[in-house]
Amino acid sequence: MMKKMLLVLVMLAVFVSGCARAADVASENLSRAADNFEMTRRIVFYNGITGDYILVIEGLCSLGNYDAAGELSVTCQIGPNLFTKHFLGLSDNVTYFAEQIKGADADPYHYRVIFRPTTIIPDPELDLP
């Protein structure tokens, strides 16, 4: 069963990589690397009215992918198994930009799939009285 699932995933990855442009694959690989705390980012929050920088977060950080409109969460890895999370509100005059601090290898011909069994089969915590 596991071999069949892996084969299907590999075939899907080959199909998707064959359909995507090289720049799209490289961009996706860079995003995945950043979301897996493999790349240093600098996230700057800027007030467009006053021209002031409000906050700068720098490190191995991932931007929230499913945040509500007007909100942004930033999760940063600060140790081997240590993370911190920031919640920020955005408005019509406050915006942010994120930059990748250093260049990184991103093979446009290799689509990246990250398989985490604990995400598929979670380890539940029971709260028993």
> With contact defined as beta carbons under 8 Å apart, do 85 and 42 qualify?
no
* SS3 of residue 15 by DSSP: helix
Cα–Cα dist 120/129, whole Å:
28
19-56 pLDDT, tens digit per residue, is: 557 778 777 878 888 888 888 999 999 888 998 888 89
- DSSP-assigned letter for residue 102: S
> With contact defined as beta carbons under 8 Å apart, do 81 and 46 qualify?
no
51-109 pLDDT, tens digit per residue, is: 888 889 999 999 987 888 889 999 999 998 899 999 988 888 888 888 888 777 666 66
